Structure 1
């Protein structure tokens, strides 16, 4: 319940050391001033007592509460979430600043353990809530508008009602969760321990994956071949992890009566299976006009007869390796946000001048980038590893979008502010699109425009096409596992069946590429998570198309959408824009934006 976001790995991060200007660092004092701060001890003591008294006051008694009593219960639960969330945010963010510091790691682990122990007695809350008869709960909601505000929370919890087991079995599964976690940890530790030797240098996985974006083709090939060699020699371990995780999921899903392996993910994303199916089908049908067409262009630019897998993320030959210093990046993003609506600029400003961003690349700092909302009575914190590449400016625009969204949604309170994964990317991708359009408008030459367009198309293909191919691979993997144990070759075959289809005829696949499923963490940590990326990107593209058409009052509707946080379903949120995600044409609207960019790139070829 109180886990921090898994830091998003960015395969493009490189060692910096350039003069990027004055890079901001976090000031975590708004959470706590130190790990031994008296306020932190006070909150931990309060939390222990609050959880115990909550269990004493309410366990076995939810059915007897009137509307006012249930509202008090919900508010107490929300306050517990807020205090626990504040403590874990502080411990986690300190750790991500220097992951190699043993004291910070211990502090985070100790906090997590205490909070898990304190909150274990609260497991009854959702179980009992789901036992309340529908008409009883509806009557209470009708009687009290303050309680009715939490209906989306009850709906979310009660979506699991048909799949809930007995209290005893639920507690058993809760306790057994640590076994599944151990397989995840084994995967993480195996990946982290892999060593790759390229040109006499020993690298970890981040550094080796980074070679796939090197301008030197020989280096890219050496990196790809070494990845294949090392994955190949560890493939039995990775196959064992996937077999076990998929089997564990199948057993739990079967006991719960889940209709498909994807059902649990759709429920937590608050999205209907047919909507995901419409997205998946629209993307797969669009492969020829998106990835196949773009990679054919890229093959020509690179002067190749055939693209190899190590050319997919190669920089373009006409790319200018310019460096964007921090003040310039700030100006670019703030100009784009202000041009959309000055209110957006106002919301973004404090991130830059109040210590809400940690930008520099530092030894021991977690890789990648994220925006962590902390809790609704503090503010979000953004983490970057800023190296001054144009793509880093886009990452800043993206994470700042999350931050603005989180600030606006905070008004909903702890239980209603967070959006499901499918909607969580809305403001981030939209902020990125605003910044991209601004950079495109300011492009001085055709070459600069071409590089910007190609970079955007690559990002979109990686977000939409690649993630839907990943989703198809997972669907095939879980279906196949239901028929029995899968050998490494079985899994390799499933992987290749989606790769060739999604990347298209411009590619040849080297021996060894069939094992590249092995390192994708989402397959192990959060099955079927990947389609949310494509959902978010497609949704924003459709939304941006409405904005570009000059929709009247778009900005106000957009702010209302972000302020809603998780209090409304995607159907309600999109209705004011005349959009509906369950309509297959909705996804085509978003995909046609990508193909429009490719049209422009083709036209530039003359």
Structure 2
């Protein structure tokens, strides 16, 4: 079944009122409501379909001919669609208001039911992995329709060395709803329910994080100290969540003979550990040329000898404080998309017009942003917390890029549409880059250009440097947890070790900043996900360089890459562009774009 939890992009920041009419989701394309007869019908169908699938195929996969195997795969795919549709509806309703008890109960009940229904299917991947290589190759050779699903089989069979007995796999499947999924929900509900008081105003976490980009330095400091206070008051719970999830992962990894805590993520991302290590090492080596150099410039612009944590995302003193209403945000992104190719804008348009975006900040709504593909027979939905800062426009461009990617990949069908996380960020970051370049080209003054360049550099540092620092923190956390229980102070120390290294010597760290690991959802929902952001940024920087060189066939190649979904390895997807992520120099090329922007900013100082 698809993950009911979308992966959240980094928490957004923004402004206040005057934004115009912000759209809300219309989930009717999934189901009209909890009591919709179509939902009842699909639940009943799913239970029967899973039982009959197991009755027809369990213990028999190795003896199927090519036509029978194709029928088996297609029946499994249909089950995946219906289960994913139900969980998408339940999950999206829940994320609209995670503090609503009825929505939380409905989500849990759906999760429990579908876990129960699909338990008989656990045999499927286990038996596929026991089929002889030559026998499977023979099936593909005799049936082209079946051969189309080869990437699905390849992904399943990558787990062969880590497969447990049928009985243990079924136990883990059944137990999942009271394991990681339950701790995920506890984390989400706790974060959504936190209250912060800044200057007499009570805010949720989204509104408080928003203040970290306020022009008023005193307000930024007040928000930072209030975040630290509330995190510290809840730090034992957050430490318990991380201890439990890291230990649960360690136990399962030991049983599966995973050589490292990261191995499972690399396998699911279809990326080689050496490629990720090359990316990580290239970024860490570039810290002095990227974040250290940029933040030293920022301190100079702000007239400060040292920066505090509340200055990291502060607007520049020369930056105009203005609100971007929703209509302007839509026009900006759509013009940038259309400038690249009218087809891209055409694909994006229904998101605005048909209730596929939920943009407003509301009590209980999950923080951050995501694009959830739902299932290939429906369409994606985008969630934002739009508050009107220029960077919120970039978040819209980012999430809409995900949505366009998901629409294009849907043609592959349910089992082949989903991209690994490393490639899932491609269209989103590319959409941001298109929007940024359009704004940069339209800049009328050096000051406007400087503000845009600085904002983009900060976004890229947050995407590349910060996420690799997050990845290092997770690596250290899981390694330390393998040695024993971690106190909150232990986790705090690991967090500070990567923050000082990545941000550089110009920063001072206030007491309490050591707890800021507590609210990052990626650590909880998707361990080791975060390097995918840096992977995507580096990949897009290299792609964009090819685009700027004027390849006349670039748009066609780009759409072909997005349409491929999860049907191709990253080496095959990048080959038409003359790019290769296994080349150690690949990442240096991507990072050079960021350092080039900083070069331009330094030259402006001269």
What is the TM-score normalised by the length of structure 2?
Answer: 0.94
In 1: Cα distance, 2:229 partner to 2:23 partner: 40
Change (3 A) 1:92 1:239: closer
Change (3 A) 1:102 1:183: closer
In 2: Cα distance, 1:7 partner to 1:519 partner: 14
Q: SS state of the match for residue 594, structure 1?
A: helix
Q: Please list, as runs of the form range in 1=range in 2, the aligned pairs for 1:586-601 lying within 5 A after superposition.
A: 586-601=586-601
Match of 1:119 in 2: 118
In 2: Cα distance, 1:400 partner to 1:604 partner: 33
Q: Give the drift of 1:35.
A: 3.4
**More displaced 10-residue stretch of structure 1: 143-152 or 244-253:** 244-253
Query: Aligned residue pairs: how many?
Result: 605
Q: Give the drift of 1:556.
A: 0.9
In 2: Cα distance, 1:188 partner to 1:304 partner: 37
Write the deviation string for residues 54-94 of structure 1: whole angstroms up to 9, x where unpaired: 11101111111111111100000001111222222233333
Q: Give the drift of 1:286.
A: 0.6
Write the deviation string for residues 357-396 of structure 1: whole angstroms up to 9, x where unpaired: 3333444444332222122122222222333321122122
Q: SS state of the match for residue 387, structure 2?
A: coil
Write the deviation string for residues 535-593 of structure 1: whole angstroms up to 9, x where unpaired: 11111111111111112411111111001000000010001111111112111111111
Q: Please list, as runs of the form range in 1=range in 2, the aligned pairs for 1:22-421 lying within 5 A after superposition.
A: 22-177=21-176, 178-421=178-421
Change (3 A) 1:431 1:249: same
Are the counterparts in 2 of residues 15 and 361 from structure 1 also a CA contact under 8 Å? no
In 2: Cα distance, 1:215 partner to 1:176 partner: 48
Are the counterparts in 2 of residues 7 and 367 from structure 1 also a CA contact under 8 Å? no
Q: Give the drift of 1:522.
A: 2.0
Q: Give the drift of 1:201.
A: 4.5
**More displaced 10-residue stretch of structure 1: 481-490 or 491-500:** 481-490
Change (3 A) 1:169 1:90: closer
Match of 2:526 in 1: 526
Change (3 A) 1:590 1:516: same
**More displaced 10-residue stretch of structure 1: 518-527 or 48-57:** 518-527
Q: SS state of the match for residue 422, structure 1?
A: helix
Change (3 A) 1:59 1:576: same
In 2: Cα distance, 1:477 partner to 1:246 partner: 8
**More displaced 10-residue stretch of structure 1: 119-128 or 346-355:** 346-355
**More displaced 10-residue stretch of structure 1: 333-342 or 21-30:** 21-30
In 2: Cα distance, 1:135 partner to 1:387 partner: 57
Are the counterparts in 1 of residues 99 and 189 from structure 2 also a CA contact under 8 Å? no
Match of 1:553 in 2: 553
Q: Give the drift of 1:400.
A: 1.4
Q: Please list, as runs of the form range in 1=range in 2, the aligned pairs for 1:481-500 lying within 5 A after superposition.
A: 481-500=481-500
**More displaced 10-residue stretch of structure 1: 176-185 or 432-441:** 176-185
Write the deviation string for residues 130-169 of structure 1: whole angstroms up to 9, x where unpaired: 1112122111111111111101000111111101111122
Match of 2:505 in 1: 505
Match of 1:466 in 2: 466
Q: Give the drift of 1:194.
A: 4.5
Q: SS state of the match for residue 307, structure 1?
A: coil
Q: Give the drift of 1:605.
A: 1.6
Q: Give the drift of 1:500.
A: 1.2
**More displaced 10-residue stretch of structure 1: 544-553 or 295-304:** 544-553
**More displaced 10-residue stretch of structure 1: 106-115 or 303-312:** 106-115
In 2: Cα distance, 1:218 partner to 1:304 partner: 14
**More displaced 10-residue stretch of structure 1: 459-468 or 383-392:** 383-392
**More displaced 10-residue stretch of structure 1: 380-389 or 254-263:** 380-389
Q: Give the drift of 1:501.
A: 1.1
Are the counterparts in 1 of residues 119 and 173 from structure 2 also a CA contact under 8 Å? no
Write the deviation string for residues 516-550 of structure 1: whole angstroms up to 9, x where unpaired: 22332322332211111111111111111111111
Runs of 5+ consecutive residues of structure 1 not aligned to the other structure = none
What is the TM-score normalised by the length of structure 1?
Answer: 0.94
Q: SS state of the match for residue 462, structure 2?
A: helix
Change (3 A) 1:70 1:577: same
Are the counterparts in 2 of residues 397 and 431 from structure 1 also a CA contact under 8 Å? yes
**More displaced 10-residue stretch of structure 1: 80-89 or 107-116:** 107-116
**More displaced 10-residue stretch of structure 1: 384-393 or 56-65:** 384-393
Are the counterparts in 1 of residues 14 and 389 from structure 2 also a CA contact under 8 Å? no
In 2: Cα distance, 1:331 partner to 1:298 partner: 30
Match of 2:581 in 1: 581
Write the deviation string for residues 160-206 of structure 1: whole angstroms up to 9, x where unpaired: 11011111222222333323444444444544454544444454433
Write the deviation string for residues 269-320 of structure 1: whole angstroms up to 9, x where unpaired: 1100000001001100110110001101110111111111121111211111
Change (3 A) 1:198 1:338: closer
- RMSD of aligned alpha carbons: 2.2
Q: SS state of the match for residue 132, structure 1?
A: coil
Runs of 5+ consecutive residues of structure 2 not aligned to the other structure = none
Change (3 A) 1:488 1:251: same
